[in-house]
């Protein structure tokens, strides 16, 4: 008979215990671990244990599953602790970036609102100034119309008309002759005067207003305004207006630029309608009465603005021929403001007018 089952099991357990113990001890010795780490548990479970080799690995945890198997977790705790710290750092960075963007957006919006408010205020002031100027001009036009009516004067829009204009005065020796002739033929003219000359010839200026002529601005010192800065442009215009008004009580409604020169700065800063011309007699250059006469009568048409200068005796002589001849041809001799109104033009500050055809 062979060995009984109980005997065979006992011997197998002994053999495995002896072999497992030897192998564990050898393995522990080769890995440099103490013998206690390689020991085989009693009960014959030698194959279920795992030895840790090498001292460079993190501490291991050995957990049994109740079935003779063990699981080793290496360095688990350190890795689990690193995760929340990194997440917190990322959250802080995100919060800082969000705060920066919010601050930048707020600053941009504040700047935009400030710029918009400034633009609105500037527009409001410009509109208010324009309204005040329009009201002033309307009041002055009404006053002048009343003065013309008192003189028994009417302008017929259906009939041809021209505007005789004289620059650079006052100059009584010439201006008074021109006004004498105009009075004889029922005509009116516009005198563009230099402010610094007005005080010296107040009597002539007062006569202009009394007889229904238009007094107008030609700058204070006849400076070419396109060569001046903003402050000087405004001063040249306002000082001339002040000088004329101080002498005769009428503030000019229109102006003529010295030499007719302008640029965008001039247009933006005179704050008055600017009257140019479409017939230039060149009387300042020729100083010849007949040439001045020819330059007018050879091409004059309804709505023309004729440029002459009050300073020259030859211009006075030419006017003695031009005025009666134009009247004979059926032209009404009117002021700039009269012709603009008759032709349906609303004179606007900052704009140029060279004729009313």
Q: What is the mean pLDDT of residues 245-250?
A: 98
Sequence-distant (≥ 6) Cβ neighbours of residue 242 within 8 angstroms: 195
DSSP assignment letter at 120: H
Q: Is the peptide bond before 283 cis (omega within 30 degrees of 0)?
A: no
Q: Dump pLDDT digits (tens) for 74-86.
A: 444 444 556 888 8
pLDDT > 70: percent of the chain: 73
Tell me how far apart the alpha carbons of residues 248 and 206 are, in angstroms, rounded to a whole number: 5
Name the nearest CA neighbour of 137 among 354, 353, 349: 349
Tell me the pLDDT band of 151, cut-offs 50, 70 and 90.
low
Q: Is 290 helix (H, G, I), strand (E, B) or coil?
A: helix
User: Given this model, what pLDDT does residue 333 score?
Assistant: 99
Q: Dump pLDDT digits (tens) for 50-95.
A: 333 344 444 444 444 444 444 444 444 444 556 888 888 889 899 9
This prediction has a pTM of 0.62
- Catalytic option among 218, 304, 309, 317: 309
Residue 179 has pLDDT above 80, yes or no: yes
Average pLDDT, whole number, for the chain? Answer: 82
Q: What is the CATH number of domain 161-353?
A: 3.20.20.370
Tell me how far apart the alpha carbons of residues 292 and 17 are, in angstroms, rounded to a whole number: 143
**Dihedrals phi, psi of 356, to nearest 5 degrees:** -125, 40
Q: Look up 156 and say whether it is catalytic.
A: no
Q: What's the per-residue H, E or C state across 291-336? A: HHHHHHHCCCCCCCEEEEECCCHHHHHHHHHHHHHHHHCCCEECCH
Residue 8 has pLDDT above 80, yes or no: no
Is 303 in contact with 356 (CB distance < 8 Å)? yes
Residue 153: CA atoms inside 13 Å, Cβ hemisphere, count? 20
User: Given this model, what pLDDT does residue 46 score?
Assistant: 37
Cα dist. 145→42, 154, 216, 229, 322 in Å? 133, 9, 16, 36, 26
Radius of gyration (Cα) for the chain, nearest Å?
A: 54
Q: What is the mean pLDDT of residues 211-221?
A: 98
Q: Which residue has the tokens 């548990």?
A: 41
Q: What is the mean pLDDT of residues 118-147?
A: 79
Q: Is 212 helix (H, G, I), strand (E, B) or coil?
A: coil
Q: Look up 167 and say whether it is catalytic.
A: yes
Tokens matching residue 42: 């009693």
Give the domain ranges of the chain. 161-353
Q: Is the peptide bond before 170 cis (omega within 30 degrees of 0)?
A: yes
| H-state helical runs in 151-262 | 172-185, 195-198, 202-210, 230-248
Is 145 in contact with 176 (CB distance < 8 Å)? no
Q: Is 137 helix (H, G, I), strand (E, B) or coil?
A: helix
- Catalytic option among 167, 168, 283, 304: 167
Q: What is the mean pLDDT of residues 282-296?
A: 99
């Amino acid at each position: 008979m062979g060995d009984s089952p109980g005997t065979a099991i006992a011997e197998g357990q002994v053999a495995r215990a002896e072999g497992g113990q030897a192998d564990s001890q050898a393995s522990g010795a080769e890995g440099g671990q103490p013998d206690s780490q390689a020991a085989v548990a009693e009960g014959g479970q030698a194959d279920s244990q795992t030895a840790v080799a090498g001292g460079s690995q993190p501490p291991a945890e050995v957990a049994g599953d109740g079935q003779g198997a063990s699981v080793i977790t290496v360095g688990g705790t350190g890795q689990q602790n690193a995760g929340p710290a990194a997440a917190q750092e990322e959250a802080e960075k995100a919060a800082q970036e969000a705060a920066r963007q919010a601050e930048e957006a707020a600053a941009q919006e504040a700047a935009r609102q400030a710029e918009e408010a400034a633009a609105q205020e500037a527009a409001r002031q410009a509109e208010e100034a324009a309204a005040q100027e329009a009201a002033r001009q309307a009041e002055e036009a009404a006053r002048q119309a009343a003065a013309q009516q008192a003189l028994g004067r009417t302008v017929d829009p259906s009939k041809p008309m021209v505007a005789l204009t004289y620059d650079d005065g006052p100059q009584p020796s010439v201006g008074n002759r021109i006004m004498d002739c105009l009075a004889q033929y029922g005509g009116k003219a516009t005198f563009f005067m230099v402010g610094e000359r007005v005080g010296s010839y107040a009597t002539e200026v007062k006569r202009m207003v009394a007889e229904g002529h238009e007094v107008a601005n030609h700058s204070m010192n006849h400076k070419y305004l396109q060569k001046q800065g903003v402050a000087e442009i405004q001063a040249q215009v306002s000082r001339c207006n002040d000088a004329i008004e101080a002498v005769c009580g009428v503030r000019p409604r229109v102006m003529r630029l010295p030499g007719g020169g302008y640029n965008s700065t001039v247009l933006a800063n005179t704050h008055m309608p600017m009257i140019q011309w479409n017939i230039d007699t060149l009387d300042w250059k020729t100083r010849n009465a007949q040439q001045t006469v020819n330059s007018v009568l050879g091409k004059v048409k309804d709505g023309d603005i004729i440029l002459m200068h009050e300073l020259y005796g030859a211009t006075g002589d030419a006017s003695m021929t031009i005025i009666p001849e134009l009247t004979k041809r059926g032209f009404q001799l009117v002021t700039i403001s009269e012709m603009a109104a008759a032709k349906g033009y609303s004179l606007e500050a900052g704009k140029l007018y060279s004729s009313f055809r």
